[in-house]
Structure 1
Amino acid sequence: MRPRLKGLILQALKSFRGVCTAHGQLPPPPVHQAVATWEAISLGRQPVPEYFNFAHDVLDVWSQLEKAGHRPTNPAFWWVNDTGAEVKWTFGELGHQSRKAANILVGVCDLQPGDRMMLVLPRLPEWWLLSVACMRTGVVMIPGVTQLTEKDLKYRLQASRAKSIVTSDSLAPQVDAISADCPALQTKLLVSDRSRPGWLNFRELMLKASSEHKCMRTKSSDKLVIYFTSGTTGAPKMVEHSQCSYGLGFVASGRRWVALTESDIFWNTTDTGWVKAAWTLFSAWSNGACVFVHELPRADAKAILNILCKFPITTFCCVPTIFRMIVQEDLTRYRFQSLKHCITGGEALNPDVRDKWKCQTGLELHEGYGQSETVVICANPKGSAIKSGSMGRASPPYDVQIVDDEGNILPPGEEGSVAVRIRPTRPFCFFNCYLDNPEKTAASERGDFYITGDRARMDKDGYFWFLGRNDDVINSSSYRIGPVEVESVLAEHPAVLESAVVSSPDPIRGEVVKAFVVLSPEYSSHDPEALTRTLQEHVKQMTAPYKYPRKVAFVSELPKTVSGKIQRSILRKQEWGR
């Protein structure tokens, strides 16, 4: 049986210092040797350990190094809001608090390793705390955005068979409304300063919870997290990742693309329900950096710029949509306190936005590309030459290629599918499967490759140039929206005979949802503007509000194949002028 990674690292540090001392050399700070070990695994240069747990093998190592004075004094976690409230934790304090939370999950919620818990919280410290608690207990976390409706929650709870859910006051009523239809759901945790019947109050439980907890000994292959992702057909799919996939998969990209060290303070504005929140957690904490969080109730360019000026944030990430908003401000009026590195991802970055940001701030924008199923696939690392409009080169340990419909590698310059090699060896930092959906899992593979569903070309220097989706998924402000979800909701309204939903260009969001609607005869004489507003509100009420069609066109018929299938591709090409 192999020893745990934490023991290997601490033993290696002790031996390394001993060798250096014997040769009369001053050893480098131990922290760098620890990161080097994790990074070697992340790059595929060392084998993945049999047993791995991020809380025990990474966070607790940082806590010990911090205690020994081998890490700067900046916090591991720093949360603020607009009212002046603030939470700061060192790695030691994060360990202390997360052990208390772990005891609540096990002792109060009766959750066992492998059980599933939904985490649907706004940007509150408890989201990060409970994420670590899930790691310590072997509980599989299922993050969700706070805009989920009753219908969304019901589907996710039923499909995942989650035994517990954690949420805040705003979503608790929706959970109560559908709890009876979710037989697997046993406990409901509320993050609030108020009590609610039928709910366990997490903050009250934390006041009396013990901090004595022994971390679960998890295998690298054990389940860590499940994300729901939208596709072009059917309901959202469950993407499953293992303990090591995320736990060590982001060390190298965190060190190179995000360029983090133990002295950095990293702010990513992403919602906790999206994968980039987990990407930030694992990238930052594996490299000893501080995760900075602002409650940020809504994306506001001026507010974001003021935060960058007020706090010593060194590294900043947000989606291109927000950067498009920010560069419309007069950036010369702002003086960032410590900012030195900026990254972006989630959708294609417009070269004009990059140029404006760099011209006004002197800072480069480093784009990265990945999916819920992967870690970072391509990136422009700090210090690398950037080709404006390119999403960078392949990010180790991935072998990324452009392939044709048979899975054959295409030469530079030719358009094809972005693919990651999975045979003969499947990368460890990769999703396990689409849970309970072997057909979808099999369909994502072609020959020796996993097919991302995105189209691009690669130039002779290995840079990838994004061209669009193979399917009909709409990427609006980095929110991935499946057209079938919106079409299904529209079909529930009596005014809609049938509809087709596609992407449409937008100067701020990149692309937005547009619905082409064939009206029922009895609604054909209604005022189009009023009917548009009615349908938009209907979608907002029935599904997550970000999915509503910002554009609506009423048409007499939809383009269809001979067999009667709607041809979204024709409408999409029409919208994009192709």
Structure 2
Amino acid sequence: MTTASCASSKSVWTWSIATRPCAASSYSCKGAALSATVYQTFLQAVQAWPDRPFLCVMPETAEIYDIAAGEISYQQAHESILALKAAYQQAGYGHGHRAGLLLENRPSFLLHWFALNALGVSVVPINAELRAAELEYLVGHSEIAVAIALPERHASLASAAAAAGRPLALMGPDDQPPTAPFAADPTLAAPGSDTECALLYTSGTTGRPKGCILPNQYFVHAGLWYAKAGGLAALQAGRERMLTPLPLVHMNAMAYSVMAMVVTGGCLIAIDRFHPSTWWDTVRDSQASVVHYLGVMPAILMKAPPSIDDQAHAVRFGFGAGIDRALHQAFEQRFGIPLLEAWAMTETGAGAVIIANKEPRHIGTSCFGKEEDDVQVRLVSDTGAEALPGDPGELLVRHAGPDPRYGFFAGYLKDEAATQEAWQGGWFHTGDIVRRNEQGHLQFIDRKKNVIRRSGENIAAVEVESVLGQHPAVKAVAVAAVPDAVRGDEVLACIVTQPMPTAAEAAALARDIVSWTLTRLAYYKAPGYIAFVDALPLTATNKIQRGALKTLAHGLPDTPLCIDTRSLKKRQEIPA
């Protein structure tokens, strides 16, 4: 890594993208056709832009992570990747293995990912916020052979592996790989576009989180899509500097940000997380030309006093989702940045991404654009009929052409039934409620699925309920989303106890329940409100009436037996 400042420089390289009618997009870098895997795609970038910066570590991020600040060129990164590849190969890792990555937003995440990808090893990103119950499930379900993790997390991963009954090798990002605990599969063909590249876990709406199997094609296509998106989202080959505070364990940063920079020879600036007070300093100092955002970020930034430096930056556009429609126009006018709202899911990848990157964008209407020719869309009413123009309906999507699943996930790990249900009728059922306006643009309305969306994190109500139900004081529980001015949604838990606590007892009991939950779940999943109720709204078969629960939950904050526990929801230190 160099210690030079993270400054932009110009290089002259030619590039082109040819789009075919269905799925097969091809990219040429100095005349070479795009390869099938993530590593091979990166290798092409190394050959085209060896001296261009691939990664930039800002000084403030370097201080937090205790790593060196500065830039890493494509060639420097490749030298590290080759060394890691050789070490993993010597230790017996290969096609058919999975490796957990608990490395936050450090450069080592990408270096280990690409090295493992070169050998056909699939990576399983692990959110650093996960706690005991979540880790035990992930380690057991994914069957990872090794975890490359921060040293302070080795003990919790070892405990999770023991509880799951799985052998698990552990190493730090700078360690030599331990011998693989079991052999790679020698019968598998050489890694290709259909080979599993990563396993990303999403919220499960009816149970445990689902593991989305993501092939190499998923990531390569995401980079290609971004490179050719054009309009207000046009990327300049060899010149972009993309700043993201979003976690590499999610598809936005891992697929779109990383692969867009690889495909176009840009520089990725991944900071540890969003820091409102220093955000604009980081934007300016990094010379970012593109930023990625979540809806919560503009809401927080708009609360700061106006400054003469509000437009003193080099950013051409922001790419994200979920901005408060009432703030959208005001933010763009104040900071001089078009915020391009997009829609996608972990399952869809760029196989069916939609973005409002062309005018008119219908700012202030939750509009995320109109599908391009390579994406097909249906809006379906509750009766299964096509929704009428202007009426809401569930969004169904697929890729155009002979392969409707091109660019999508390959399926849910160990859950073929859920995969088939999601693809019922040959369309992917998103669970999002959407309408078309008169111009044919799509507007987001609500989620059909029982998922809480808090600060960009998808939280499955049933997962939180299953953990809360284990607390000795909880006799019955149901979890719902309630509006939060900053976070979008907040988690509210309706809890039945015997006996019902008094107003004086409720606050202490609520704190105890949340503190206990924080040892079992990531902090953002814990309830921000605990409401003690006499009974839950149930169906005749004793299932939770989700519609009635939602109505009930919205009226509970600020009532005597609804305790605001949001101040307890802080990132927890990991016990040694």
How far 1:179 moved relative to its partner? 3.1
Residue number in structure 2 paired with 1:95: 78
Residue number in structure 1 paired with 2:305: 330
d(CA) in 1 for partners of 2:308 and 2:500?
55
How far 1:160 moved relative to its partner? 0.9
Shift of the 312–101 alpha-carbon distance from structure 1 to 2, 3 Å rule, reads same
Alignment map for 1:263-278 (pairs within 5 Å): 263-278=239-254
d(CA) in 1 for partners of 2:372 and 2:484?
30
Choose 251-260 or 543-552, whichever is displaced more: 251-260
Alignment map for 1:86-485 (pairs within 5 Å): 86-108=69-91, 110-191=92-173, 200=175, 217-256=190-229, 258-261=233-236, 262-279=238-255, 280-296=257-273, 299-334=274-309, 336-345=312-321, 348-376=322-350, 377-388=352-363, 389-395=366-372, 397-405=374-382, 408-421=385-398, 425-485=403-463
d(CA) in 1 for partners of 2:170 and 2:22?
36
d(CA) in 2 for partners of 1:291 and 1:44?
26
The answer to whether the aligner puts 1:60 opposite 2:36 as a matched pair is: no
d(CA) in 1 for partners of 2:399 and 2:358?
29
Shift of the 30–267 alpha-carbon distance from structure 1 to 2, 3 Å rule, reads closer
Residue number in structure 2 paired with 1:21: none
How far 1:575 moved relative to its partner? 4.0
How far 1:463 moved relative to its partner? 1.1
Shift of the 560–186 alpha-carbon distance from structure 1 to 2, 3 Å rule, reads closer
How far 1:526 moved relative to its partner? 6.1
Aligned 8 A contact 1:368 1:379 in 2 = yes
Choose 319-328 or 388-397, whichever is displaced more: 388-397
d(CA) in 2 for partners of 1:329 and 1:114?
50
Aligned length: 518
Shift of the 413–446 alpha-carbon distance from structure 1 to 2, 3 Å rule, reads farther
Segments of structure 2 that go 5 or more residues without pairing to the other structure are 1-10, 28-32, 180-188, 556-576
d(CA) in 2 for partners of 1:331 and 1:290?
30
**Over the residues paired in the alignment, what is the CA RMSD in angstroms?**
2.8
Aligned 8 A contact 1:228 1:236 in 2 = yes
How far 1:126 moved relative to its partner? 0.3
Segments of structure 1 that go 5 or more residues without pairing to the other structure are 1-27, 68-72, 193-199, 206-215
Output the amino acid matched with 2:39: A
Report the secondary structure of 1:441's partner residue. Answer: helix
Shift of the 98–480 alpha-carbon distance from structure 1 to 2, 3 Å rule, reads same
Aligned 8 A contact 1:41 1:248 in 2 = no
After TM superposition, the score normalised by the length of structure 2 is 0.84
How far 1:133 moved relative to its partner? 1.2
d(CA) in 2 for partners of 1:289 and 1:387?
30
The answer to whether the aligner puts 1:566 opposite 2:544 as a matched pair is: yes
Choose 302-311 or 262-271, whichever is displaced more: 302-311
The answer to whether the aligner puts 1:75 opposite 2:50 as a matched pair is: no
d(CA) in 2 for partners of 1:359 and 1:520?
54
How far 1:331 moved relative to its partner? 4.2
d(CA) in 1 for partners of 2:356 and 2:520?
41
d(CA) in 2 for partners of 1:50 and 1:287?
12
Aligned 8 A contact 2:244 2:271 in 1 = no
Report the secondary structure of 1:541's partner residue. Answer: coil
Encode CA deviations 1:274-316: one digit per residue, 9 max, x unaligned: 12221211122112211112234xx321121221122211100
d(CA) in 2 for partners of 1:464 and 1:288?
32
Q: Percent identity?
A: 20
Report the secondary structure of 2:15's partner residue. Answer: helix
How far 1:135 moved relative to its partner? 1.6
d(CA) in 2 for partners of 1:278 and 1:513?
26
Encode CA deviations 1:434-458: one digit per residue, 9 max, x unaligned: 1110111121123231101111112
d(CA) in 1 for partners of 2:357 and 2:87?
41
Residue number in structure 2 paired with 1:503: 481
Output the amino acid matched with 1:223: E
Output the amino acid matched with 2:169: T
Shift of the 247–267 alpha-carbon distance from structure 1 to 2, 3 Å rule, reads same
Encode CA deviations 1:103-141: one digit per residue, 9 max, x unaligned: 222213x21112111111222110111111122111011
How far 1:357 moved relative to its partner? 1.3
d(CA) in 2 for partners of 1:463 and 1:543?
38
Shift of the 100–46 alpha-carbon distance from structure 1 to 2, 3 Å rule, reads closer
Shift of the 60–191 alpha-carbon distance from structure 1 to 2, 3 Å rule, reads closer
d(CA) in 2 for partners of 1:51 and 1:360?
42
Encode CA deviations 1:147-201: one digit per residue, 9 max, x unaligned: 0112211111111111111110332221122332345434211136xxxxxxx45
d(CA) in 2 for partners of 1:113 and 1:482?
32
d(CA) in 1 for partners of 2:442 and 2:498?
45
d(CA) in 2 for partners of 1:259 and 1:575?
43
Shift of the 390–381 alpha-carbon distance from structure 1 to 2, 3 Å rule, reads closer
Output the amino acid matched with 2:377: V
Aligned 8 A contact 2:493 2:530 in 1 = yes
